[in-house]
């Protein structure tokens, strides 16, 4: 038997015409079979004359509520959380330093990983990373399923004094990007990192 389908019919249910879903909780599905055995399913429209009609009432699920950000659903709670976070951050920051008492910022080191990725750090001890090694069998053929690596230390050198202020500005900018764009906006650890670096820059001679 062949079937002809009209209107929007889905295995999980049939949606009513536009605007009906908001007004009614049910929709009537008509199964129409003509003399040639062709079957048509249609909603809220009776079968034409000359066809055999079967009718079924289907419950239509209510529309999904419009998404609302957490800040809109519970503004007081979110505001209190942000206030607590800001208070915790401010308590961890050093107090402002008067301009005449400011000193040069701490040393920075420009480092490069084995993958040729560059970064700035205050840590003078290079990080060690695991660089993958190609594993071969006894016949010298590569073994794709095998995994091995060796520790490779990052290559680091101290930033020159005359470039230190510019490097610190870049360091602070990168921390701000990680906090606001590279992670979650509510990432307190990244927010604290940014604020601490920004305070170090603001309390140094680089802020002049």
Percent of the chain topping pLDDT 70:
85
| 3-class DSSP string for 80-129 | HHHHHHHHHHHHHCCCCCCHHHCECCCCCEEEECCCCCEEEECCCCCCEE
Q: What is the pLDDT of residue 2?
A: 43
- Does 116 have pLDDT greater than 90? yes
83 pLDDT exceeds 80?
A: yes
- Helices (DSSP H) in the chain: which residue ranges? 70-73, 75-92, 164-177, 188-202
91: which 2 tokens?
């308590």
Instruction: Give residue 185's pLDDT.
Output: 54
% of the chain with per-residue pLDDT over 90: 50
> How many other CB atoms are there within 10 angstroms of residue 90's CB atom?
10
Phi first, then psi, for residue 207 (nearest 5°) are: -80, -10
- Model pLDDT, residue 24: 52
Q: Specify the 3-state DSSP secondary structure of 7.
A: coil
Query: What mean pLDDT, rounded, does the chain reach?
Result: 84
Q: How many CA atoms lie within 13 A of 46 on its CB side?
A: 3
Closest CA to 190 of 201, 200, 177: 177
Predicted TM-score (pTM) above 0.85: no
CB of 19 within 8 A of CB of 30?
Answer: no
Average pLDDT over residues 110-131: 94
For residues 71-84, give the mean pLDDT: 90
Tokens of 65: 């509520």
Delimit the domains of the chain by residue range. Answer: 1-64, 70-207
Mean pLDDT of 184-202: 86
Residue 142 has pLDDT above 70, yes or no: yes
1-58 pLDDT, tens digit each: 444 444 434 334 444 444 444 455 788 999 999 988 999 999 888 999 889 999 999 8
**Confidence bin at 143 (pLDDT 50/70/90):** confident
pLDDT digits (tens, 9 = 90+) for 149-180: 889 999 999 999 999 999 999 999 999 998 88
Alpha-helical runs (H) found in 10-74: 70-73
């Amino acid at each position: 038997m062949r079937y002809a389908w009209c209107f929007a019919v889905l295995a999980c249910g049939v949606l009513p015409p536009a605007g009906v879903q908001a007004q009614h909780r049910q929709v009537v599905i008509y199964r129409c079979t003509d003399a040639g055995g062709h079957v048509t399913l249609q909603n809220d429209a009776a079968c034409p004359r000359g066809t055999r009609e079967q009718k079924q009432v289907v419950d239509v699920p209510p529309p999904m509520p419009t998404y609302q950000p957490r800040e809109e659903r519970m503004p007081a709670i979110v505001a209190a959380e942000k206030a607590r976070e800001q208070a915790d951050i401010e308590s961890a920051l050093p107090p402002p330093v008067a301009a005449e008492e400011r000193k040069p910022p701490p040393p920075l080191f420009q480092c490069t990983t084995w993958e040729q990725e560059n970064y700035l750090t205050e840590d003078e001890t290079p990080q060690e990373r695991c660089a993958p090694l190609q594993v071969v069998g006894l016949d010298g053929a590569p073994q794709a399923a095998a995994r091995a690596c060796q520790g490779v230390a990052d290559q680091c050198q101290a930033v020159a004094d005359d470039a230190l202020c510019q490097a610190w500005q870049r360091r602070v900018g990168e921390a701000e990007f990680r906090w606001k764009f590279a992670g979650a906006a509510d990432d307190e650890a990244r927010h604290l990192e940014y604020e601490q670096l920004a305070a170090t820059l603001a309390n140094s001679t680089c802020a002049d």
